[in-house]
Chain A
Amino acid sequence: MLLLLFIVLVFSLLELSLGSAGVSFIEVLFPKSDYALFVLREIRIPRLLTAVLIGATLSFAGLLLQTVFRNPLVGPSVLGISSGASLGVALVTMAGFNSFFISDEVPKVAAAIVFSLAVLFLLFSIAGRFKDHASVLIVGMLISYLAGAVVDILIFMSDNDALKEFTLWGMGSFSRMGYGEIALLSTLLLISYIIVHRHRHLMNLYLIGELDEVNEQKKRKLVLLLLLLGGVITAFVTAFCGPIAFIGIAIPNLLRFVLRISDHKYLLPGSIMLGAAVALMCDLLSTMPWSNHSLPVNAVTALFGIPIIVFMIFKSRQSSI
């Protein structure tokens, strides 16, 4: 855990000192010019905080959902929340609702939040009727196909500029959040963390099937609580940064398979720390310190992250047999 904290700190310094604006490491530690201060305050610090926060939030949400479904393939995207957010953004960018607003980002974020929360509540109202919570997964998938279909129609009918704007949103970015959004999201994460932390023993019992049947009521409450918290924080992340791939699914698995942690007492803080570290690493790579260009963060998370995870899982599996 201390090692992870150290890694996060080192990456943070790197993140602060690298970027296309030409402000060096020394200047980060001892900022002299107004320009350096401006770059730090307006660009690099928000970006650093965003990367840390998004990584932590998504891997935390992924952990909650993987525990609920006892399935390592589940991630924050399965509930159909990202698709809901996509639909909202698609409506804004491609169906012409954008012209009502002056700013560019605000309507997109607002639509993404409204639609992803709408999907979440739709999901809950349906899920409440089922006894088996695995059906939540199926309904979530169906909702995302439905949203996808509407998005496809919009894409088919839209012009090039709108299409590009929508596609760029879908690639995800850590540079869209200001201090206000950062404060909001960290408050949400903090509240969810405190609530979930109080349930850590119950989550362990849930994993070994102790809450089944005998304690149906308690189990249902726990499942709904975890789904709701995981869903809401994912909704806000997606609205602010676009759908960020890989982190939510991979980090909890990395903790479980490679570091061999299963107790939620360690998984909960571990997911926050490791999520932050990996998101920072991906963001560092995406800024491409060796050149003046940068890549979409989603491409980096997938291209660099997934092969590593596959390799690590494969190795840890082999050694455990």
Chain B
Amino acid sequence: MTLLLGKNIVFGHGDHTLVEPFNFSIAPGTVVGLLGLNGSGKTTFFKTLMGAIPLMDGTLNFREKDLAQFSYAERQPVFAWLPARKVLEERLLVFEVLTFSSAKLLIGNAVHQAKVLQQMDEVIALLHLEEFLQKPYHHLSEGQKKKVELAALLMKQAEILLLDEPSVFLDIENQAELVRIVKSLSKDQNKCIFVSSHNLAFIQACADQCWEIEGKKMVISENTATAITRYADKLAQ
């Protein structure tokens, strides 16, 4: 089954093309590792998927429906983006960040609110955030902050997650933890996850497919290991 289908996708900003036409099709539960140099267009690609930047050409289908027809509100349950650096009011407590990110929680009837609260408990349990809930965000370590941001992202209940350089600033243990979380989300919850990173070991550990932006081409390999070896060889030259 195809979750997301791209035909002749061209993206960039303004008149500046970053990547020339390419096709792809992704099934639910797939983790895509996105490689590419700084400025090659990884973040632009995420923003294009989300609809923040218009497609320059081609069509994107989500569950066989054209995404161009989706309103802003309709796109919300489809994509959720975690930027590499998140700017937020750092004095907020962790549970407030989680509550605010789930706008659904703040409106609707009691039954609905109870459901959202239960989802929040599940997210908190998955990311082991129990002991941090009453702490201000700025008291946390980088690894803990990233987990809080990820939890806030998961509260949106989107089907496709776009993680922009999530392993940056994380030590080896937190990276391993993140790999565990990403795998659990894709296998147990059938989420489709895009992970952009410069960290080859991290991509190799969690991705099912490897996409590389090379020059103005999107090179898609189903086999992550060979793609990574190729990428590493190219770096060595």
Cβ proximity bits A192-215 to B, threshold 8 Å, 1 near / 0 not: 000000000100110111101111
Cβ proximity bits B43-70 to A, threshold 8 Å, 1 near / 0 not: 0000100101000000000000000000
B100 neighbours in A (Cβ, 8 Å)? 204-205, 207-208, 210, 263
Q: Are B92 and A262 in contact, CB atoms less than 8 angstroms apart?
A: yes
Q: Are B106 and A201 in contact, CB atoms less than 8 angstroms apart?
A: yes
B81 neighbours in A (Cβ, 8 Å)? 214
CB of B170 within 8 Å of the partner chain:
no
Main secondary structure on A side of the interface with B: loop
Set B47, B92, B97: member contacting A213, Cβ < 8 A: B47
Closest CB-CB distance, B135 to chain A, in whole Å? Answer: 8
Closest CB-CB distance, B80 to chain A, in whole Å? Answer: 10
B88 neighbours in A (Cβ, 8 Å)? 70, 207-209
CB of A153 within 8 Å of the partner chain:
no
Residue count of chain A within 8 Å CB distance of chain B: 21
Q: Are B99 and A209 in contact, CB atoms less than 8 angstroms apart?
A: no
A260 neighbours in B (Cβ, 8 Å)? 93
Closest CB-CB distance, A252 to chain B, in whole Å? Answer: 12
Count how many pairs of residues, one from A and one from B, have CB atoms less than 8 Å apart in the complex.
56
Give complex CA distance A312, B64 in Å: 58
Per the 8 Å Cβ criterion, residues 78-133 of B in contact with A are 81, 83, 86-89, 91-93, 96-97, 99-101, 103, 106-107
Q: Are A213 and B93 in contact, CB atoms less than 8 angstroms apart?
A: no
CB of B136 within 8 Å of the partner chain:
yes
B96 neighbours in A (Cβ, 8 Å)? 262-263
Give complex CA distance A209, B86 in Å: 7
- Taking CB as reference atom, which chain B residue is nearest A71? B89
CB of B207 within 8 Å of the partner chain:
no
Per the 8 Å Cβ criterion, residues 258-278 of A in contact with B are 260, 262-263, 265
A256 neighbours in B (Cβ, 8 Å)? 91
Closest CB-CB distance, B166 to chain A, in whole Å? Answer: 16
Q: Are A214 and B52 in contact, CB atoms less than 8 angstroms apart?
A: yes
B101 neighbours in A (Cβ, 8 Å)? 205, 208, 210
Set A207, A213, A215, A320: member contacting B89, Cβ < 8 A: A207
Q: Are B52 and A201 in contact, CB atoms less than 8 angstroms apart?
A: no
B93 neighbours in A (Cβ, 8 Å)? 260, 262
Q: Are B52 and A216 in contact, CB atoms less than 8 angstroms apart?
A: yes
Closest CB-CB distance, A241 to chain B, in whole Å? Answer: 30
Give complex CA distance A201, B108 in Å: 13
The answer to whether A265 and B106 touch (CB under 8 A), given A208-B89, A209-B86, A214-B52, is yes
Q: Are A213 and B83 in contact, CB atoms less than 8 angstroms apart?
A: yes
Q: Are B103 and A201 in contact, CB atoms less than 8 angstroms apart?
A: yes
Closest CB-CB distance, B213 to chain A, in whole Å? Answer: 19
Q: Are B103 and A205 in contact, CB atoms less than 8 angstroms apart?
A: yes
Closest CB-CB distance, B48 to chain A, in whole Å? Answer: 11
CB of A321 within 8 Å of the partner chain:
yes
The answer to whether A215 and B52 touch (CB under 8 A), given A209-B88, A320-B136, is yes
Set A72, A208, A214, A321: member contacting B92, Cβ < 8 A: A208
A209 neighbours in B (Cβ, 8 Å)? 83, 86-88
The answer to whether A70 and B89 touch (CB under 8 A), given A214-B52, A214-B81, A263-B96, is yes
B106 neighbours in A (Cβ, 8 Å)? 201, 204, 265
Give complex CA distance A51, B81 in Å: 46
Q: Are B107 and A212 in contact, CB atoms less than 8 angstroms apart?
A: no
Closest CB-CB distance, B142 to chain A, in whole Å? Answer: 16
Give complex CA distance A213, B48 in Å: 12
A215 neighbours in B (Cβ, 8 Å)? 52, 72
Closest CB-CB distance, A117 to chain B, in whole Å? Answer: 30
Q: Are A214 and B47 in contact, CB atoms less than 8 angstroms apart?
A: yes
Give complex CA distance A288, B184 in Å: 67
Closest CB-CB distance, A210 to chain B, in whole Å? Answer: 6
A204 neighbours in B (Cβ, 8 Å)? 100, 103, 106
List 14 A-B residue pairs with CB atoms under 8 Å apart, sorted by A's residue number: A201-B107, A205-B100, A207-B88, A207-B92, A208-B101, A209-B83, A210-B100, A213-B83, A214-B47, A215-B72, A216-B52, A262-B91, A262-B92, A263-B96
Extra contacts besides A207-B100, A208-B88, A210-B101 (7): CB < 8 Å: A72-B91, A204-B103, A207-B92, A208-B92, A210-B100, A262-B93, A262-B96
